[in-house]
Amino acid sequence: MPICPICHQEFIQLKSVGRKRKYCSKLCHYKARLKPKEQYKPCLQCGKLTNWEKFCSSQCSRLWWKVHQETRKQYSHICSICGIDYLSEQRISKFCSLVCSTRHKRIQADNKGRKTNNRLQIVANDWHYQDWRQKVYERDKYTCQYCGDNSGGNLNAHHLKNFHDYPQLRFVISNGITLCKTCHINEHIKFGYRKYERAKEKTFSDTSTQWQPLKVA
């Protein structure tokens, strides 16, 4: 049986432990890490001898750094919102204050909202989109061109060319196809959204906006 070098007592080495233990308990392990009292250093804040490098506790550390802020190493940065020069203890920093950080988050949220609401506003307010969708449905006889589903309220008008990148083709009837909700979702899962037409070019030899609808009896 192994013997603990601190308390000089025998202890059982468990097989379930991956590595061999050197000490019998955590207390002996902690005592082994302690330096001899001759090597103790005084705390910078209270002057008490301590085993640690500078301070005896976290409280002394906070109190000392509050008074000696100028001894900390600081880095120069430029705020990405207001553009002023400021010093920070962090190597990488973008904002000079919490106000600028909050303003940046609001700008991002507004930009994201404009991008996502752009299509929703066109769909809700523009009669051209409503007319285009109706004509696509009528051309395809209100039937999904993939699975043949013709149940009411389950159809979507899908753009073959990207809605965002091809604004001139948004209301071209040949650029639309009738799909059910399931096929519409699967289509975007397979080919994506912004790069949809590029993936389609690998599938169809004709890269134009012409589409041959499914012939339904």
Judged by phi (left if over 0) then psi (alpha if -120 to 50, else beta), residue 142 lies in left
CA distance 65 to 136: 70
Q: CB of 58 within 8 A of CB of 45?
A: no
Name the domain boundary from 100, 125, 150.
Answer: 125
> Are both 116 and 171 inside the same structural domain?
no
Do 116 and 140 lie in a common domain? no
Per-residue pLDDT tens for 11-59?
887 776 666 788 888 888 888 877 777 778 888 888 888 877 788 888 8
Please tell me whether residues 90 and 139 are part of one structural domain: no
pLDDT band at 99 (very low <50, low <70, confident <90, very high): confident
Enclosing domain of residue 174: 127-203
- Residues 40 and 106 both lie in one domain: no
Say if 155 falls within a structural domain. yes
- The number of residues making up the chain comes to 217
How far from the centroid of its chain's Cα atoms is residue 84's Cα?
A: 28
* Whole-angstrom distance, CA of residue 22 vs CA of residue 29: 8
Domains in the chain, number:
3
* Report field, pTM of the whole predicted structure over 0.85: no
- Strand locations in 44-167 (E): 49-50, 75-78, 85-88, 155-159
Determine, yes or no, domain membership for 171. Answer: yes
Residue 5 within any structural domain of the chain: no
For residues 166-173, give the mean pLDDT: 84
